[in-house]
Amino acid sequence: MKYMIMLFGSQRDYDAITGKGEGAWPVEEVAAMHAFMEKWNRELVESGEFVDAQGLTAPVHARRISLRDGAPVVTDGPYAETQEVLAGYTIVECDSFDRATEIAARLADTPHPAGTTTQGEWHVDIRPIAETTADFDL
């Protein structure tokens, strides 16, 4: 079965990682995070469990379409009411939800600068991917 591991972040996280504003990460810390993620992905490729992975641009580059009074309304991001957004995803194909959980749990070791607000607030979601309508009610 395929599972999507969804990583979340905020505009503040994107700013810190790209060296903007208060709490900007040192270049070495950003490099350590990227190296960790590359290793994590490479191990999934080597195990045959990797399907796809993509990072998403900062929330400031997002647009939300909503329906109001029957008409679409476009709102540019970031959205003040949203603390976090989908930052990226990885799709794995593995034997069980437990195995997908083990894979995602390894992300808890992603390097962060000491004292950043990301530590302690970090989480990922894992969801089975519905490949047929029968999969919607696993």
**Of the candidates 4, 2, 1, which has an alpha carbon nearest to the alpha carbon of residue 104?**
4
Domain assignment of residue 28, yes or no: yes
The number of folded domains in the chain is: 1
Domain assignment of residue 42, yes or no: yes
Q: Domain holding 89: CATH number?
A: 3.30.70.1060
> What string of pLDDT tens digits covers the 138 residues of the chain?
999 999 988 888 888 899 887 789 999 999 999 999 999 999 999 999 999 999 999 888 888 898 999 999 998 877 666 678 889 999 999 999 999 999 999 998 888 887 665 544 668 999 999 988 888 876
Domain that holds residue 127: 2-131
Domain assignment of residue 137, yes or no: no
Return the bridge partners of 50, or none: 92
Domain assignment of residue 136, yes or no: no
Query: Distance between CA 103 and CA 5 in Å, rounded?
Result: 9
